[in-house]
Amino acid sequence: MKTVEKIVNPVKRAGEQSPGKIYSDKLKVRARREWRGVKDTLYDYTRWLYLMSVLGRFIMVPRNVKGFFRYRWMMSYLFVPHGMDKFTIGLRDEALRIAHTSFNFVIADVTAAIGKCFRGDRRVGNDVEFSERCVITDENSMVTFMMGFDKDKTPTILREVPTMFASNIFHQFNVMHYLDVAQQYGIPGDVCPMPEAEAGISIEDDFCVLGACAVQNNTTCDGSLMGNGIIAKRLEREYGIPTYQLATPLRHKEPDVLEYAAEEIKKAIAFVEEHTGGKWDWDLYFQAAKRVNYATRCRIAQMEINSSPYPQFFGAAFSLYNDTNYMGNSGRDPEFIKIDKKLLELAEQGYKAKRMYAKEYRHRCIVWGVQPQYVIDMLYWLVQCWGVVPLTDMLSVINTDMIAEEDTPENREQAYRDMAMLNMEMIMRNHTHGGYKVLLDDLWELCEKMNADIVMMWEHMSCKALTGMHGMFEEQARERGIHIMWVSHDLCDPRVFTRQAIRDQVNNYMRTVMREEPLDPSLEIIPDNEAY
Amino acid sequence: MKKFLLGILLKVLLAGLGLFVVTFTVYMFNLDMKLMTLIAPLLEKWYDHQEHKQYI
């Protein structure tokens, strides 16, 4: 089997050595915050103050208070600092700053999205003029088709992100109610809980109602299509919000689908223009295209650093930041450029100083499959407890090609193909659809490039897209001498797999197959199954 | 005048220190999140009592 060189951190970590001690079986949150030494504790404290200020400013707006008491999912946002604590376990120095810089920005972005939802919502703010300019999209929509619209005059709202996806990061039980609602109406329990919860929210009438129109995407699975159908029906028939189905080819590696996909983008743009009165502006598009390319270059640079012996930016914060930037932003907001730049500077600084996340790196790991690592602090736990470095995850392995960024007549036609390509190769779909090459071959190439000896395969119990490939993964990993560690879960339904049940699969693999002892025994069993 | 300004400065510093001690204690002992765990069950009851027009 393949092995990698073990690296021992010559520097002792500042502050406490066993963060497992801060968990409590009597509480639904941690007993206290981690002591990280004076410098890093004070830094973490100032970021906590910043988060408190973001939440405080949000709740000062009267319509947001009204929305808070109207929507059940808003309860999750009481636990934003708790969510942040999950992504900083054991972190010091640059790693701590990287996690805060990226994830704090995501939190601010989600808070702004909730503010917009409540402003236009017919039940809360009811700002009709604002609502009539908004386009709502689903959680997994890539918003490339909005790159040429003014983001303030024609706002895009990914309505399901604050409602379901982000709220679940802070409170692991919050979608259970919506899953129950969906199942009461006959939707089977073996559907992916993410679109099922979204369908449940729609059935329960717990989505904000706003927008001149909506655009849905056939992403990323059968469950997503099912959920979109239920949501679109209510949007169109009850609330009179016209909904466009952006049908994107799934065999995205086949060149003959590109023209069709580009036509779909053109139609989506025409649909938005018709319903919002907004006008497509090529200057805005090419400015956004430049920013998309900058973000791509930064992501490639981060992956290069992660291919070295001293990876810097990984884990759930890496994945969530990419998700927000690549898919939810798509170059429209210049603020992301500053964050990209800062993150790269921090990562380069950490790389030069040979900073490590844990006291020892024993294995280099690629995280593949449909991942629940937002809900639990799994990837940071993996490196702290077992010294297994999660170099990157499937959702962060996205487009690396540059798109046309100069405004010429030829590039205007190319732009539609570029938007279509980005849309087809968006997060998750680029690996879960498109054949075994994107799911298997890409993985082995990545293992080679990043010098990984372990693949942690998330096995999502309700994901039909990946379960059929189990045997092929096993067979091909064996041929290549790569350890493959299967970790089952049910995404955002903790009743099927609890946090400890998920971690125990890694514990068992590391003890029985790898014959290793944990780096930090205080983390092997954590009493956080009942924690938010 | 100098004494007066020094007095104000001292008061500002003491207030700042007091604020730091209070907020840092809240932060370090996770009192903010512990308080939220008391509020959350009450909120759940509130949400449970709301009428919703369920529709599929």
Mapping DSSP to helix (H, G, I), strand (E, B) and coil, where does residue A135 land?
strand
Chain B's closest residue to A80, CA to CA, is: B33
* Residues of chain A contacting B30 with CB distance shorter than 8 Å: 29-33
Residue A268 has pLDDT above 90, yes or no: yes
**Pick from A133, A413, A435, A430: nearest CA to A265:** A413
Is there a contact between A215 and A188 (Cβ–Cβ < 8 Å)? no
The answer to which of A37-51, A137-151, A369-383, A408-422 has the lowest mean pLDDT is A369-383
Residue A293 structure tokens = 């390319």
- The pLDDT of A95-110, averaged and rounded, is 96
Question: How far does B53 lie from chain A, in Å, by closest CA?
Answer: 6
* Residues of chain B contacting A29 with CB distance shorter than 8 Å: 30, 33-34, 36-37
Task: Tell me how far CA of residue A494 lies from CA of A172, A375, A503, in angstroms.
Answer: 7, 9, 13
In Å, the largest CA–CA distance within chain A is 65
User: What percentage of chain A reaches a pLDDT higher than 70?
Assistant: 99
**Residue contact B36–A79, C-beta within 8 A:** yes
B26 CB burial (10 A radius; 0-12, 13-18, 19+):
middle
**Residue contact B54–A203, C-beta within 8 A:** yes
Residue A375 has pLDDT above 80, yes or no: no
Task: Tell me how far CA of residue B46 lies from CA of A110, A390, B42, B49, in angstroms.
Answer: 24, 41, 6, 5
B7 CB burial (10 A radius; 0-12, 13-18, 19+):
exposed
**Residue contact B43–A48, C-beta within 8 A:** no
Residue A466 has pLDDT above 80, yes or no: no
Chain B contact residues (CB < 8 Å to A)? 23-24, 27-30, 32-34, 36-37, 39-40, 43-44, 46-47, 50, 52-56
Residue A365 has pLDDT above 90, yes or no: yes
Chain B CB within 8 Å of residue A28 CB: yes
Q: Which of B19, B26, B30, B39 to mutate to test the interface with A (most CBs of A within 10 A)?
A: B30
pLDDT of residue A7: 97
Task: Tell me how far CA of residue A383 lies from CA of A38, A60, A272, A358, A376, in angstroms.
Answer: 23, 39, 45, 6, 14
Predicted confidence (pLDDT) per residue in A313-326, tens digit = 999 999 999 989 99
Predicted confidence (pLDDT) per residue in A501-530, tens digit = 999 999 999 999 999 999 999 999 999 999
Chain B CB within 8 Å of residue A82 CB: yes
**Pick from A81, A85, A190: nearest CA to A461:** A190
Q: Where are the domains of chain A?
A: 7-523
- The pLDDT of A346-364, averaged and rounded, is 97
Mapping DSSP to helix (H, G, I), strand (E, B) and coil, where does residue A171 land?
coil
**Residue contact A75–B43, C-beta within 8 A:** yes
Chain B CB within 8 Å of residue A514 CB: no
pLDDT of residue A278: 96
Chain B CB within 8 Å of residue A412 CB: no
Residue A219 has pLDDT above 80, yes or no: no
Is there a contact between A98 and A343 (Cβ–Cβ < 8 Å)? yes
Chain B CB within 8 Å of residue A30 CB: yes
Distance CA A433, CA A307 (A): 26
> Which of B30, B37, B56 is closest, CB to CB, to A203?
B56
- The pLDDT of A463-488, averaged and rounded, is 89
pLDDT of residue A453: 97
Is there a contact between A390 and A87 (Cβ–Cβ < 8 Å)? no
| Band of pLDDT at residue A398, cut at 50, 70 and 90 | very high
* Residues of chain A contacting B43 with CB distance shorter than 8 Å: 75, 78
Chain B CB within 8 Å of residue A21 CB: no
**Residue contact A32–B30, C-beta within 8 A:** yes
Mean pLDDT, rounded, of chain A? 94
**Pick from A355, A358, A350: nearest CA to A383:** A358
Backbone angles phi, psi at A460, to 5 degrees: -80, 115
Q: Which of B23, B36, B50 to mutate to test the interface with A (most CBs of A within 10 A)?
A: B36
pLDDT of residue A435: 80
* Residues of chain B contacting A180 with CB distance shorter than 8 Å: none
Is there a contact between A440 and A472 (Cβ–Cβ < 8 Å)? yes
* Pairwise pLDDT comparison (A275 vs A254), residue with the higher score: A275
At A293, which amino acid appears?
N
Task: Report ipTM (2 d.p.).
Answer: 0.94
Distance CA A398, CA A328 (A): 14
Question: How far does A40 lie from chain B, in Å, by closest CA?
Answer: 13
**Pick from B46, B26, B22, B31: nearest CA to A27:** B31
Sign of the CA dihedral running A363, A368, A374, A375? negative
Q: Which of A48, A54, A55, A68 to mutate to test the interface with B (most CBs of B within 10 A)?
A: A48
Q: Which of A36, A74, A78 to mutate to test the interface with B (most CBs of B within 10 A)?
A: A78
**Residue contact B30–A181, C-beta within 8 A:** no
pLDDT of residue A387: 97
Question: How far does B36 lie from chain A, in Å, by closest CA?
Answer: 6
> Which of A28, A41, A205 is closest, CB to CB, to B54?
A205
Chain B CB within 8 Å of residue A86 CB: no
Beta carbons within 10 angstroms of residue A508's beta carbon: 11
- The pLDDT of A260-275, averaged and rounded, is 97
| Band of pLDDT at residue A432, cut at 50, 70 and 90 | confident
Chain B's closest residue to A230, CA to CA, is: B56
Is there a contact between A200 and A181 (Cβ–Cβ < 8 Å)? yes
pLDDT of residue A218: 83
**Pick from A316, A323, A374, A378: nearest CA to A76:** A374
Predicted confidence (pLDDT) per residue in A118-146, tens digit = 999 999 999 999 999 999 998 878 899 99
pLDDT of residue A429: 85
**Residue contact B55–A234, C-beta within 8 A:** yes
* Pairwise pLDDT comparison (A532 vs A221), residue with the higher score: A532
**Residue contact B29–A32, C-beta within 8 A:** yes
pLDDT of residue A373: 66
Which residues sit opposite A487 in a β-bridge? A458
**Pick from A34, A129, A13, A126: nearest CA to A85:** A34
Distance CA A338, CA A245 (A): 34
